[in-house]
Structure 1
Amino acid sequence: MPDEVAVKAWRELSRQFSSVSCALESALKEQHELGMSEFEVLDRLAEDPHQSLRMQDLGEVIHLSQSALSRTVARLEKDGLVERVLCASDRRGVYVSLTDAGRERHAAARPVHRQVIKNTLGG
């Protein structure tokens, strides 16, 4: 692939990501008092069969730095949407679990999230 084609593709991908991110941030904040990263944490937890993920695994699938993820989880925990639980077999491990309030907020915000993505990407 020639350099110009790769750069053009990168710029289009970057434009689409920025467009979707801004639209998601605005809609989720306005309608559900959630930031995009906060919703993503709730969404990943809701998709898990146990609705609980190890903090390290959550960070890998969400692609946030450890400190950014920690701040995001702290905000969700303060709002009662998630809780942190120490791993019984490995005291260094911390799990993040969805609470009932988190399930409710996620269920309410999920259709907005999906619709914004669909509308913004033209699907």
Structure 2
Amino acid sequence: MTATDSALTGLAQGWCALSLLHGRIEAHIERALQSAHDLSVREYSLLDVLSRQHDGPGGHLQMKQVADAVVLSQSATTRLVTRLEDRGLLSRYICDTDRRGIYTDVSEAGLALLAQARPTNDRALREALASAAADPELAPLVEALENMHRRPAAAPGA
């Protein structure tokens, strides 16, 4: 085996650990959100992303931006938006300046559900990270996440 093979193997093992950590966290949050609020992780993420929009120039996200933010294809995002719209948690309307554009806003019911679900999401995330920190394979990743959160943000252009 060459040094390059060894480095790639280490990188692949790191990627597997990261994937495992993500899966465990997502599954734990999914169970918590489903049982307490009848929301999936993706639905929660979509409501969260859309709740951060604002009126005015650049305030509304295009569907591609929303899809990228919730890590879904555009078609899957559209289906998710439709599902939440059917539940009365979102509404869609045509853009005033570009008739081809469709905006999506979180309804009052959606904002209320998001506010109720946020503590559940945060608690489940903390629980999943605490559990992962006890696993020697995942502990360094949890530590890296915690350090990222503590580190001051870099100045723009730095």
The residue type equivalent to 1:67 in the other structure is S
Unaligned runs of 5+ in 1: none
In structure 1, the residue corresponding to 2:92 is in which secondary structure? strand
Q: Which residue of 1 aligns with 2:68?
A: 60
C-alpha separation between the residues in 2 aligned to 1:87 and 1:33? 30
Which structure has more relative contact order (CA 8 Å, sep 6+)? It is: 1
Displacement of 1:119 in angstroms is 1.2
Matched, 1:119 2:127: yes
Residue of 88, 102, 117 corresponding to 2:96: 88
Conserved 8 A contact 2:51-2:105: no
Runs of 4+ in 1 over 4 A off after TM superposition: none
- Give the structure with higher Rg (CA): 2
RMSD over aligned Cα atoms: 1.7
State the percentage of identical aligned residues.
33
C-alpha separation between the residues in 2 aligned to 1:59 and 1:4? 32
TM-score (norm 1): 0.91
Displacement of 1:56 in angstroms is 2.4
User: More displaced, 59-68 or 43-52?
Assistant: 43-52
Q: Report the number of matched residues.
A: 123
Q: Residue by residue, what CA displacement relative to the aligned partner does 1:56-99 show, whole Å, maximum 9, x if unpaired? A: 22112112101110111111101100101111111111111011
Matched, 1:108 2:116: yes
In structure 2, the residue corresponding to 1:114 is in which secondary structure? helix
1:3-14 equivalences in 2 (<5 Å)? 3-14=8-19
Matched, 1:33 2:33: no
In structure 1, the residue corresponding to 2:61 is in which secondary structure? strand
TM-score (norm 2): 0.72
Change (3 A) 1:52 1:109: farther
Unaligned runs of 5+ in 2: 131-145, 147-158
Displacement of 1:52 in angstroms is 4.9
